[in-house]
Amino acid sequence: MVVRKKQVHVCRECHRVVDGEACVICGTSNLSEDWAGYLVIIDPERSEIARKMNITMAGRYALKVR
């Protein structure tokens, strides 16, 4: 039995983890499968890493996108 992992795409513009074919935040379809570092932002107003990455909405993000 072969188990295939679902390919996760990340927006190259805002680093958001995307489920579909385009980013729901910035609308671009410029997505990548080559990324590293999984980040979940719950409260962007109180998060220092969210401030450094210019993230203003809660969600799942990648730290590095190639």
pLDDT band at 1 (very low <50, low <70, confident <90, very high): confident
Is residue 33 a known part of a binding site?
no
Task: Please report the domains of the chain, with CATH numbers, ordered by start residue.
Answer: 9-65 (2.20.28.90)
**Known binder of ligand: residue 48?**
no
Is 23 within any annotated ligand binding site? yes
User: Cβ distance 61 to 29 under 8 Å?
Assistant: no
Asked if 58 and 50 touch (Cβ cutoff 8 Å), the reply is: no
Whether residue 63 contacts residue 37, with contact meaning beta carbons closer than 8 Å, is answered with yes
Tell me the whole-structure pTM to 2 decimals: 0.85
User: CB count, 10 Å around CB of 31?
Assistant: 21
- Report pLDDT for 6: 76
Q: What is the mean pLDDT of residues 39-58?
A: 96
pLDDT at 13 over 90: yes
Residue written as tokens 């909405």? 57
What are the backbone dihedrals phi and psi of residue 49, each rounded to the nearest 5 degrees, phi first?
A: -65, -35
Q: Does position 46 have pLDDT exceeding 80, yes or no?
A: yes
Q: What is the pLDDT of residue 2?
A: 74
Query: Does 39 count as an annotated binding residue?
Result: no
